[in-house]
Structure 1
Amino acid sequence: MDFDDQLRRYFGTDDPTTVTPAALEAGIDRMKVDFGMEKDKGRKFALWALMYMLGAAPDLDVAFSDEADRNTARDFMDMMAKTQGGG
């Protein structure tokens, strides 16, 4: 699942600048449902990462039962903070 695929699946476009606020909200709602049902670790992480970038990710202790997965998510959060000048 790559970024463009996620954008098309949840927001109907691969251009994030064209997503309306209503489409953003609806897409995030669909992502949350899919996240809760996803069993594949890679797909689940990809969904969480996009939700994180959109400010809608669940807390790590809720999102990931495995400590290694939570640590990977923390690494991602740190990486994102550094790219945004926060670290």
Structure 2
Amino acid sequence: MLLDDLLERYFATSDISSISADALTAGIEHCRVDFGLTKDRGKRFALWALLHMLGSAPELDVAFEDEEDREAARNFMVLLAAPSGENSE
């Protein structure tokens, strides 16, 4: 799943800066519902990652039953938190 595709699906634009507060709230809610309904691990991770970037992701122990998925999510959070260029060796 591509980030632009997810943004288009849930917010009707790939330009996140143009999303109104109401549209952001509605899109996040729609994304959380889809996250809860999907069983596909890859799709769940992509939806969780989007929710995480928007500050609305569920806690890892709630979001993922599998420890591998929780570890992948932790790694994702570390990569996002790293200063730009730190992981570009």
Aligned to 2:87: none
| Alpha-carbon separation, structure 1, partners of 2:25 and 2:54 | 10
Aligned to 2:18: 18
TM-score computed with the length of structure 1 as normaliser:
0.93
| Alpha-carbon separation, structure 1, partners of 2:54 and 2:11 | 12
Runs of 4 or more off by more than 4 Å in structure 1?
Answer: none
- State the identity %: 55
- Structure 2, unmatched stretches of 5+, are 85-89
Aligned to 1:62: 62
| Alpha-carbon separation, structure 1, partners of 2:43 and 2:24 | 20
| Alpha-carbon separation, structure 1, partners of 2:83 and 2:42 | 22
| Alpha-carbon separation, structure 2, partners of 1:43 and 1:79 | 19
TM-score computed with the length of structure 2 as normaliser:
0.91
**CA distances 1:22-51 after superposition (whole Å, capped 9, x unpaired):** 000000000000000011111110000000
| Alpha-carbon separation, structure 2, partners of 1:27 and 1:51 | 10
In the alignment of these two chains, the number of paired residues is 85
- Structure 1, unmatched stretches of 5+, are none
Task: Tell me by how many angstroms 1:14 deviates.
Answer: 1.1
SS at structure 1 position matched to 2:65: coil
Task: Tell me by how many angstroms 1:83 deviates.
Answer: 3.7
